[in-house]
Amino acid sequence: MYPTVAEVLALPVLRQGRPHVVAGSAGLDAPVRWAHVAEVADIAHLLRGGELVLTTGVALPDDGPALARYVADLAGVGAAGLVIELVRHWSDKLPAALVEAAEEHGLPLVTLSRETRYVSVTEAVNGQIVDAQVAELRAAERVHETFTALTVAGAEPGVVLGEVARLTEQPVVLETLSHEVLAYDAAGTDPAELLTGWPSRSRVVQLGERTGYHPGSGWLVTVVGARGHDWGRLVVVCADQPPHRHRVVAERAASALAVHRLVAKDTDGLERQAHRAVLAELLASPAPSAELLARASALAVPLPGRQLVGLAVRPRLTGTRPALSTPPVLRELAEATVLAARRAKVSALVATDELGVRALIALSPEANADAVLHRLATDVHEARGSAPGVLAVGTTVSSPAEAGRTLLEAGQVAAAALGTGSERVLHRLSDVRLRGLLHLLAGDERVTAFAQRELGPLRQRDATSGSRLVQALRHYCEQGGNKSAAAAAAHTSRTAYYQQLARIEQVLGVRLEDPESMLSLYVALLVDDLTRTSEEDSPGRAPQ
C-alpha cells in the first residue's frame, strides 16, 4: 500500500533535484507512510514512524555529536529516510558525522543538489499514498462482498480457495490441525511441488496469533474454526511479507470455510471428501501422477514403498433393517473404519461410496498384513455391532500403480460376500469362489438370461399357485442334494418335501439327481441372489 523510499526517489518531482543516496542504502526498501517537511532539529518526538523527512538543513547543527543524535532520534522513531537539499546550509557535501550516523543506523540519507519545491514533493508523495489507501479500501470492500456472497451461498471449500488464489495470486492450502491437506489451489504452480512433504513442513510453522506471517516458511497462516472449536488452518504461500489486503482475504476465507462446515454438518466431512477424491483418481489412473502421490502423502498416507491393501465395508441389509445404506449410517461406518485404522496404527485413505465404505490401507514393508487386517476388521465389527456388515480385502500390492486393482477386488469380494450369510470377520478372494466369479459376470446379459431360463418356469408356478418351489430348490442345492437335510432346513416333513422335489422335476423337465442339472440350477440361484443383492444395494432403495 505504501511506496518505498526508492520508489519515491524515482518520482519526477524528486528526480529534478538530482537525488543522491549517500548513506543507508540498505533501507531503500522501507515503506514511506508520509512525506513531512521539518526545518527543526528537535522533530523526532513529533513523528509516528514511516515518515520521509525533507529539510534544507538550515536549522541543523554543525557539531558532530549533535548531528549523530539527530539521526539516531529519527531512526529511533522509525523514520523511513532523510532528504537534505544542498543549497542553503551545506552546498558541497554533508558533514561526515551525519553520513556516518545514517550508515550506522541504516537510515537512508539522500542529498538534492538542486533547489526543490518541497510542497510539490509532499503533494506527489502523499497523494500517491492516499490514492493507494483508497484503492486498498476499495479492494478490501470487494473482498468482503465476494466472501459474503460465498458464505451466503454455502460455497464448497474448493470454490473458496479458488477465490483466495485469484485475489492473492498465490497458492493456498486448507489443512487440518494435524497438518493433513483437505483442499488446495496451486494458483498455476506445480501442485506436486506445493504438497510434497507438507505435513513435516507445516509442523514447524507455529504462530501465537490467529492470523500471522511466518517469514521462515513464507506462509501467511490463519486459523479456521467457529464457536470456539478450531479445526484447521488456511495457508497462503507467499515468499514476501504480504500486504494487509491478503490478510483480509485469508481471514474472510477462513470465516466462509467455518460457516460451510457448520451448515454442511450432515454431509461427509472435508477429510472424507479429500480421501474420496484421491481414491477415485487411484481407481481411474493406471499410473498415478506425482501430484496424486503428493496429495496422498499430504493426507498422511504415503503410498510408494508400502504394502497397499484395498478394503471394502458394506452394511448387511435385511428385511428388518430398512435402508441402512443412508448417508448417516455410512458416515458412522467410515468413522468406525478410521478409528480402527488408528488403533491398528496404520495409515489409510477412507471414504464412503454409494454402497458402503472404501479404503486403501498403507502398511510398512515389514508389517504382518494378515494380522493387521484381522485386527482392523475385528475393531470395525465391534464398533458396528448394532449394524452388521461385511468387510472384504483385495490382494496386497506393493506399487501405487496397482492400488486401483486391489480397491476393485475388495469391492467385488464384498458384493459377492453379502449374499453368503457368512459370519467371517474378513472376506478375501479365496473365500467367495464361484460366487465371486458370478459377481464379476453378473452384468453380462447372457448370464442373466441363463438364470431366467433355468428358474423362470418355477417362478411362474410359484406366482400362479402360491407354492414355494424356488425356496425348496434352494434348500436342496445348499444341502448338496441331501433330501433329508434339505427337508430339515426347510422345516418341512420329508413326505411333503419329497413331493415338492417331484413337482420341481416335473415343471423343469429335469432330474435333480443329475449332477449337471443340480449344478446349473444352483448357479442360476446364485446369479439370482447376486442380482437381487445388487438391486437392494442401489442408492435410495430399501430391501423388500
Q: What stretch of H or E contains 81?
A: strand 81-85
What percent of the chain lies above the pLDDT cut of 70? 92
**Residue 51 to residue 60: CA distance in whole angstroms:** 18
Rg (CA), the chain: 38
On the 0-12 / 13-18 / 19+ scale of CB atoms within 10 A, 165 is: buried
CB 332 within 8 A of CB 340: no
Q: pLDDT at residue 317 above 60?
A: no
Strand ranges, E, within 322-430:
347-352, 357-363, 389-393
pLDDT of residue 199: 93
Mean pLDDT (the chain) is: 87
Higher pLDDT, 540 or 343: 343
Angle at 22 between CA 20 and CA 25, to 5 degrees: 95
Q: What is the mean pLDDT of residues 379-406?
A: 84
Q: What would the DSSP string read from start to end of 236-250?
A: EE-SSPPPHHHHHHH
Handedness of CA 456, 459, 464, 468 (dihedral sign): positive
Q: pLDDT at residue 309 above 90?
A: yes
Length of the chain: 544
CB 511 within 8 A of CB 517: yes
Confidence class of residue 217 from pLDDT cuts 50, 70 and 90? Answer: very high
Confidence class of residue 539 from pLDDT cuts 50, 70 and 90? Answer: very low
Q: What is the mean pLDDT of residues 50-57?
A: 92
Q: What is the mean pLDDT of residues 206-232?
A: 90
Three-state DSSP state, 151 = helix
The C-alpha cell 516458511 sits at 217
Confidence class of residue 533 from pLDDT cuts 50, 70 and 90? Answer: low
pLDDT of residue 292: 93
**Residue 488 to residue 356: CA distance in whole angstroms:** 35
**CATH number for domain 154-263, candidates 3.90.550.10, 3.30.565.10, 3.90.1170.50, 3.30.450.30:** 3.30.450.30
pLDDT of residue 244: 84
Q: pLDDT at residue 492 above 70?
A: yes
**5-126: which CATH topology?**
3.40.1390
Handedness of CA 271, 147, 248, 240 (dihedral sign): positive
Q: pLDDT at residue 537 above 80?
A: no
pLDDT of residue 136: 77
pLDDT of residue 100: 93
Q: What would the DSSP string read from start to end of 308-348?
A: EEEEEEEEPPBTTBTT--SHHHHHHHHHHHHHHHHHTT-EE
pLDDT of residue 262: 81
Confidence class of residue 181 from pLDDT cuts 50, 70 and 90? Answer: very high
Q: pLDDT at residue 189 above 90?
A: yes
Contacts of 524 (CB under 8 A, 6+ apart): 450, 451, 454, 455
pLDDT of residue 544: 33
**Residue 107 to residue 316: CA distance in whole angstroms:** 76
CA dist 476 → 106, 385, 463, 523, 530 (Å) = 97, 32, 20, 13, 19
Q: What is the DSSP letter of 170?
A: S
Q: pLDDT at residue 403 above 80?
A: yes
CATH 3.30.70.270 in the chain: give the residue spans. Answer: 300-435
Confidence class of residue 427 from pLDDT cuts 50, 70 and 90? Answer: confident
pLDDT of residue 283: 92
**CATH number for domain 300-435, candidates 3.30.70.270, 3.90.950.20, 3.40.50.2300, 2.40.50.840:** 3.30.70.270
**Residue 19 to residue 297: CA distance in whole angstroms:** 54
**Residue 453 to residue 49: CA distance in whole angstroms:** 92
**Tell me: the pLDDT tens digits for 106-158?**
999 999 988 888 999 999 989 888 888 888 788 778 888 888 888 888 788 99
pLDDT of residue 182: 93
Higher pLDDT, 439 or 61: 61
Q: What is the mean pLDDT of residues 314-324?
A: 55
CATH 3.40.1390.20 in the chain: give the residue spans. Answer: 5-126
The pTM (predicted TM-score) of the whole model is 0.64
Higher pLDDT, 350 or 315: 350
Q: pLDDT at residue 297 above 50?
A: yes
Q: pLDDT at residue 318 above 80?
A: no
Confidence class of residue 261 from pLDDT cuts 50, 70 and 90? Answer: confident
CB 25 within 8 A of CB 41: no
Least reliable range by pLDDT among 114-128, 146-160, 315-329, 349-363 = 315-329
Q: What is the mean pLDDT of residues 62-72?
A: 92
Q: pLDDT at residue 287 above 60?
A: yes
C-alpha cell belonging to residue 496: 411333503
pLDDT of residue 530: 72
Q: What is the mean pLDDT of residues 155-166?
A: 92
pLDDT of residue 223: 94
Per DSSP bridges, beta strands 307-315 and 357-363 are: antiparallel
pLDDT of residue 542: 37
pLDDT of residue 386: 52
Q: pLDDT at residue 224 above 80?
A: yes
Q: pLDDT at residue 447 above 50?
A: yes
CB 186 within 8 A of CB 291: no
